[in-house]
Amino acid sequence: MNLIPIPHAAMATMALLLIAAAPAAADGDMPQPGRAGLHGAIGLGVGVRPAYEGSGENQTRLTPNIRLFYGDTWFLTGMSAGANLFRHRTAQDISISAGPLLALRRGREEGDHAELRGLGDIDRSLDAGGFVRLRKGGWQARADLRKDVSNGDGGTTLRLSAGYGMPVSQKLRLRANLDTAWASAAYMSTFYGIDATQSANSGIAQYTAGSGFKHVGASLVADYAINREWGGFASLRHTRLIGDAADSPIVATLGSRNQAAASVGVNYRF
């Protein structure tokens, strides 16, 4: 069991890198054992995803694919960054790691979507929290607790996931993942509630969204090694909104409970 002190300058640098990063990497990416210094992969792809959380429309955009590690402690993957400050291996050969986490949360602009007129904007925000990850062989389970720390009380989420990764051939590797998320009342009110002012401005009935589980999801990611440095990736993801999130007029009337995303691209590994 190891505890590693966190340099303040390193944490500040990690936060700046996180804000510059875009969503792409899949949960479960790990540093290469025994590798010192900076290593990982940087790539670019084309992706399709919902225009906003709960939207019935999809957007196509370029999607950076970022998986950076410094030694076996610091990591920056997609929209999250953190550090493995606690590490332990049990007698059953289960690897446990935990540490602090920063994550960038998507927002939405009412002016970009006619169905959101009158509901106001939701700014992007920075979440802070921590994670715990269990790993044995190709199996992995993870819990992330995140709270908005930049936009007032934007709420808290608890994300739970479990998955399995395996090599299909010498060059192809697949990772499958199941996940769900619980959200606080503040988060649900921000993204799915409609208060009196929003109702008057939009003509949509008022709606109160309470805390609870907001979605279940499944994803499949494929990594293909073209050569030692270059590789290709593809991902598919389906999310089903549930509970008060699914019943919100923003979803049930204006959007969709079913959220699908896909991407394909290439990356450079070092």
Placement of tokens 């073209």 in the chain:
226
- d(Cα 149, Cα 166) in Å, to the nearest integer? 37
pLDDT confidence of residue 2: 43
- Quick one: CA dihedral 27, 32, 38, 43, positive or negative? negative
Domains of the chain: 2-269 (2.40.160.40)
- d(Cα 53, Cα 48) in Å, to the nearest integer? 13
Give one DSSP letter per residue of the chain, joined into a string.
-EE----HHHHHHHHHHHHH--S-PPTT--PPTT--SEEEEEEEEEEEEESSTT-S-EEEEEEEEEEEEETTTEEEETTEEEE--EEEE-TT--EEEEEEEEEEEP-B-GGG-GGGTTS--B--EEEEEEEEEEEETTEEEEEEEEEE-SSSS--EEEEEEEEEEEESSSSEEEEEEEEEEEE-HHHHHHHH-B-HHHHHHH-PPPB---SEEEEEEEEEEEEEESSSSEEEEEEEEEEEE-HHHHHSHHHHTTS-SEEEEEEEEEEEE-
pLDDT digit string (tens) for the chain, length 270 residues: 444 343 444 433 333 333 333 333 444 456 666 678 999 999 999 999 999 999 999 999 998 889 999 998 999 998 899 999 999 999 999 999 999 999 999 999 999 999 999 999 999 999 999 999 999 999 999 999 999 999 877 899 999 999 999 999 999 999 999 999 999 999 999 999 999 999 999 999 999 999 999 999 999 999 999 999 999 999 999 999 999 999 999 999 999 999 999 999 999 999
- d(Cα 34, Cα 254) in Å, to the nearest integer? 50
pLDDT confidence of residue 72: 87
- d(Cα 207, Cα 40) in Å, to the nearest integer? 45
Residues in contact with 185: Cβ distance below 8 Å, sequence separation at least 6, in sequence order: 155, 209, 210, 211
pLDDT confidence of residue 33: 66
The dihedrals phi and psi of 26, each to the nearest 5 degrees, come to: -90, 150
**Paired tokens of 177:** 């993942």
- Name the β-bridge partners of 75: 69, 82
